[in-house]
Every structure is written in C-alpha cells, then in structure tokens.
Amino acid sequence: MPPDLRHARAEPTFPSAPSPHPEFTPEDERAAYRDMLLIRRFEEKAGQLYGMGHIGGFCHLYIGQEAVATGIAMARRAGDQIIAAYRHHGHMLAAGIDARPIMAELLGRAAGISSGKGGSMHMFAPEHGFYGGHGIVGAQVPIGAGLALANRYRGGDGVCWCFLGDGAASQGQVYETMNMATLWRLPVIFVIENDTEAGAFDCKVAAAGTGAVGSGGTAADLSQRGRCFSIPGWQVDGMDVRAVRDAALRAAAWSRAGNGPFILEMLTERYRGHSMADPAKYQARDEAVARRAQQDPISLVKERLLAHDVSEAELRQIDKDVRAIVAGACAFALDAPEPVAGELQRAVVVDA
Ligand SMILES: Cc1ncc(C[n+]2csc(CCOP(=O)(O)OP(=O)(O)O)c2C)c(N)n1
C-alpha cells in the first residue's frame, strides 16, 4: 500500500536549536580535513585547467564553501539522495565519488562521469545517490522533493539533501515545492548555501538582476523562508564543518522521523567569482583576505587538529596524498579520449 500523503501535521513541534558546542572527535576532524582539502585542491586544479583551455564553457568553483558539502556528507546515510546546482564538484567529492571521472567530465571526455555530455554543470551519478548537477537556477528543488516523495512512497527513512543558493531561494518553484513538501511531509532538507554579498553580487546582478540577499529577496534570514509552510529552519555557521554536521544530523533526525521538510541556511563565503568568467572585482580584496584568514574552513580544522597533538608531518602527508589524487585525476582526464560522435544521442533521448 502506498502511504497516505494527504495529511499535514496539525501543530508542528519544532526541534530544539543545534548545540553551540557540537561533538567532533579528532577522527572526525581528520576526515573532514582530508575531504575539504581534496575539494580545495581539486577546484584549484580545475581553475588552472580552465585557464589553460582544457575546460570549455562554464566552470563554477566551490572554493571557500567546502565545510558545507563536507559536513552534510558526514551526516548523510546510505540511501539518502543528494541534488545540487551547477557548483557541485565539491558535493560529489564529499559524497566519496572518484575524482577521476569528475575531472574527465569537466574536460568533456568519454571517461567522464556523464560520458562527457554533462560538462561542468550537469554531472550525474545516481549509483552514488547523486542526482545532478542542474544549470537552471532552482530547478533541482522540485526534483529533490520528488526524490523525497520516492523515499516516503517506498518506506524507509532516507532523506534527500537538496542544495540551493541564496539566489535560487527566491525562485517561485522553490515555494511551490515547500508547500507540497509540508503537505506530504516529504523528507527533504533544503540546504541553502548563502555565500553572502561579497561573493554573490556579480552574477545575480549581471545575469538576473537580483543582487545579493537583501536586494533580490525580502527576508535576509533565509532559514525562515519556510515559516508560512510550517517548515522549521536554522541559520548555521557554514564555515565550521562541526556546526554543519551537527545541524544536519538534527535536521535529518526530524525528517527521518516523518515530520517533513527542514531548512538549513548555511552562512558561507565563496572565495572566487561566480564562474571562471568573473574576476570578482566587486570583492573588497583586503577585507576578504583578512576575513578568510580568520575563518577559512580548512584552517579552522587544521588549528584544532594541531591543538589535539596531531603533528604537522601528518597533516603534510594528508596534503601530499590529496595532491596525488588530484594529479592522478588530472592525468586521467587529459589522457582520456573525446567521446565518439555516436555517443551524442545515447542516454539522452528515450523512446517512450
Ligand atoms: C532560471 C534561471 N535564471 C537565471 C539564470 C542565470 N544564473 C546563473 S547562476 C545565477 C545566480 C544564482 O545564484 P545562487 O542561487 O545564489 O547560486 P551561486 O551561484 O551563488 O552558488 C543566475 C541568476 C539561470 N541559470 N537560471
């Protein structure tokens, strides 16, 4: 029997706020450090390859936001799905997907994770629970709710982690989705990555005329955008992987228990421009350098590890291992052949 999806909660009891001192063992710190470093080095390499002309079209880097994808991945369970926008290489790496086919996809090669047809914005890996990679701002949100509907329909306690940007948070389809998600009590966590004005101003003005939060949306606190749909939400320090995982675990517990959707607004900062075409001249350079020295997500974890008596040598070794993975991914991608012409229509057009 399919579940009865019609009844919303009458009086929701919202969960208590996340802990100001999230639990995180030295082992957790090590794992987070390694995963965030892998994203950072991978993205730096992608930026270089773009500059050298090996990557064509768009390329949106995730540098600065590593703690969000990593903290969520640490809260994720097998069977949960992930869906994101076009800035998603980091989410895929955090989900444990091999760096080689991701890099090959960026280069449009046959060995790419979407056979070279998805490119930088449309990578898919459903075998890893990863459902894209979406270039239309906000398009992943209703699809994410659909994945959550599948979870409810099939039973079990899987949740869908649906990532979106602060710009996407003002899209109409997001609100239709929130309404349905409450009505059907869908286990979907809307993870809004608010990269703040400094990093966000560019494209939102140039491409859509929306600007950063405050000029394109009405409520600066995006975690409260679901209030009229009875969706609880928290603002989270998205530069601290501990805080991200802690909030994610609590939100997921709420959704897994059948209470419906949840919003996590991650306060984060993207260090690069919107895409490789954007030199980010609107960012106040000196301020940004000072701020990043204080709150860089990788440096924060490094300091905590050193305080836990982890040696500089061990951290250097992690960095070396990560660089080797990225160099291997780069060589793999550069050596991989281009797709053959016959590949063009495979797995794109379906005979109905
Ligand atoms: C429906 C739609 N409108 C406009 C665009 C052009 N566009 C591409 S990215 C972007 C900004 C989106 O900002 P945000 O959701 O905050 O994500 P971020 O790039 O900051 O990660 C815009 C307006 C688009 N791709 N799709």
The string of DSSP codes covering 209-225 is: S--STTTS-S-S-GGGT
174 with 164: CB under 8 angstroms?
Answer: yes
DSSP secondary structure letter of residue 161 = E
Q: Is the dihedral of CA 165, 170, 174, 175 positive or negative?
A: positive
| pLDDT over 90 at 299, yes or no | yes
CA of 208 to the centre of ligand 1 (A): 7
42 with 97: CB under 8 angstroms?
Answer: no
| pTM of the predicted protein model | 0.93
Domain span at residue 107? 26-332
- Is the minimum distance from the CB of 121 to ligand 1 under 6 angstroms? no
The mean per-residue pLDDT over the stretch 279-293 comes to 84
Q: Which residue matches tokens 């070279």? A: 116
Residue 17 lies in a domain: no
> Residue 9's pLDDT band (boundaries 50, 70, 90)?
low
Which residues pair with residue 83 across a beta bridge?
162
Question: What are the structure tokens assigned to 325, written together?
Answer: 């993975």
Q: What percent of the chain has pLDDT over 70?
A: 89
| pLDDT over 60 at 203, yes or no | no
- Is the minimum distance from the CB of 207 to ligand 1 under 6 angstroms? yes
Which residues pair with residue 235 across a beta bridge?
265
CA of 120 to the centre of ligand 1 (A): 15
Mean of per-residue pLDDT scores for the chain? 90
Residue type, 224: Q
Q: What CATH number is given to the structural domain containing 288?
A: 3.40.50.970
Residue 348: the pLDDT is 78
Q: Which residues contact 215 (CB under 8 A, 6 or more apart)?
A: none
- Is the minimum distance from the CB of 206 to ligand 1 under 6 angstroms? no
Note the pLDDT tens digit of each residue in 81-97. 999 999 999 999 999 99
Residue 350: the pLDDT is 64
Distance CA 200, CA 198 (A): 6
CA of 153 to the centre of ligand 1 (A): 31
Residue 281: the pLDDT is 81
- Is the minimum distance from the CB of 266 to ligand 1 under 6 angstroms? no
- Is the minimum distance from the CB of 202 to ligand 1 under 6 angstroms? no
Residue 50 lies in a domain: yes
Tell me how many domains the chain contains.
Answer: 1
DSSP secondary structure letter of residue 274 = S
| pLDDT over 80 at 44, yes or no | yes
- Kind of pairing between the strands at 188-194 and 262-267: parallel
Nearest Cα neighbor of 141 from 109, 103, 102, 181 is 181
| pLDDT over 70 at 199, yes or no | no
| pLDDT over 80 at 14, yes or no | no
The mean per-residue pLDDT over the stretch 29-34 comes to 98
Note the pLDDT tens digit of each residue in 239-256. 999 999 999 999 999 999
Distance CA 350, CA 352 (A): 6
Residue type, 258: G
Ligand 1 atom, smallest distance to 194 CA: 16
- Is the minimum distance from the CB of 137 to ligand 1 under 6 angstroms? yes
Q: Where are the alpha helices (DSSP H) in 76-128?
A: 89-94, 99-106
**For ligand 1, atom 11, which residue shows the shortest CA distance?**
204
The mean per-residue pLDDT over the stretch 178-207 comes to 77
Distance CA 339, CA 109 (A): 6
- Is the minimum distance from the CB of 136 to ligand 1 under 6 angstroms? yes
250 with 76: CB under 8 angstroms?
Answer: no
**For ligand 1, atom 12, which residue shows the shortest CA distance?**
167
Dihedral angle at the C-alpha atoms of 306, 310, 313, 314, nearest 10 degrees? -120
Residue 16 lies in a domain: no
Residue 221 lies in a domain: yes
Residue 347 lies in a domain: no
Residue type, 51: G
Residue 337 lies in a domain: no
Residue 21 lies in a domain: no
Residue 16: the pLDDT is 75
**For ligand 1, atom 18, which residue shows the shortest CA distance?**
165
The number of helix segments (H) and strand segments (E) in the chain equals 11, 5
